[in-house]
Amino acid sequence: MAPSHALRCCKRALNWIPVLFINLVVGWSYYAYVVELCVYTIPNNPERISYLVLFHIFFTMFIWSYWKTIWSKPESPSKVFCLPRAEKELFEREERAETQQEILKKVAKNLPVYTRTAGGAVRYCDHCQVIKPDRCHHCSTCEMCVLKMDHHCPWVNNCVGFSNYKYFVLFLTYAALYCVVICATVIQYFLKFWTKVLPDTHAKFHVLFLFFVAALFFVSVLSLLGYHLWLVGKNRTTIEAFRAPVFANGPDKNGFSLGFKRNAAEVFGDQGKYWMFPVSSNLGDGHSFVTRLVHIDPERANGILQQNGKSPADGKPDPCVHGNNIQYTADDSKENIEGGQTDSVKVENEQ
């Protein structure tokens, strides 16, 4: 036990090396820009002050979103998705996989779970002993099931999922803008040092290297940012982009797509004033998600939902999942799943 615990502690310590590397690079870039460029190289105060103000705005947003991504604890499924005591005892005693699946299906009927494994089985985590909510996956590094898991990122030493995906996208956005600000303001002094217009000083190395590092990081971050913005627009996670979620009617890579605006609102929220700040504004609880009309293009489905969607009326069953003027009831949704119907969302016409 002791060696295993020691190895686990060493592994956790080593996981912080990429984060330490990023912070060292950012710390050096701050020194190189503020001290070597603004203090020692820029000759006039108006330019120096304007550069410092612009730099610190993007530096603050970059660091804020980066550390929010790191310190936001991944959310795991609630206790509702655990097997009740009686069913859990039956499940653990049962050796036949078919019977175990019958137990899981019985419990899953009362849960907002509509995705299955590739073989059509209920998704169950043996490590965490929970029925996995839609879009939830087990992270072997974090040793837990993570709601709407996108991927485990070594650069933040954390799982990127429902609780911090907005912060992660903002971190990439402000990292790219931070690099743009550095390159745009440093380039004239980079050229002056390169062509020897400015004399060789201790600032030369820092200014030259700062431009190269910022340009290199910008290219790498921009490609990753573009990919994740595409995922946001499609309402997919990185896992779903490589392996389409499986519904009752089979795999559907666009199963959660409701059109660009609603897909973006699911990550950033429905109030635009919070979009650019790393504060919690995403929609939902991470346990259940609205699904589009299967076999219909997302944009067409978005138009249909806008025309036919309505809020739950008084006296009707509480919606299992609701949002963006879409609702479907637990009973009707489960009947569609079990009956193999083509609709994964029940849309009621306006009266």
Which one of 136, 145, 153, 183 is the catalytic residue?
153
Distances (CA, A) of 116 to 103, 214, 234, 244, 245: 15, 44, 20, 11, 8
> Is the Cβ–Cβ distance between 91 and 221 less than 8 Å?
no
d(Cα 127, Cα 130) in Å, to the nearest integer?
A: 8
> Is the Cβ–Cβ distance between 135 and 147 less than 8 Å?
yes
d(Cα 219, Cα 43) in Å, to the nearest integer?
A: 30
Lookup: tokens for 74: 């991944």
d(Cα 46, Cα 57) in Å, to the nearest integer?
A: 17
Lookup: tokens for 152: 């485990």
Lookup: tokens for 15: 């996981």
Query: b/e map of 99-120 (b: 16 or more CB within 10 Å)?
Result: ebbebbeebbeebbbbbbeeee
> Is the Cβ–Cβ distance between 144 and 74 less than 8 Å?
yes
Per the annotation, the verdict on 153 as an active-site residue is yes
Distances (CA, A) of 135 to 116, 210, 290, 341: 10, 40, 12, 21
Just list the catalytic residues: 153
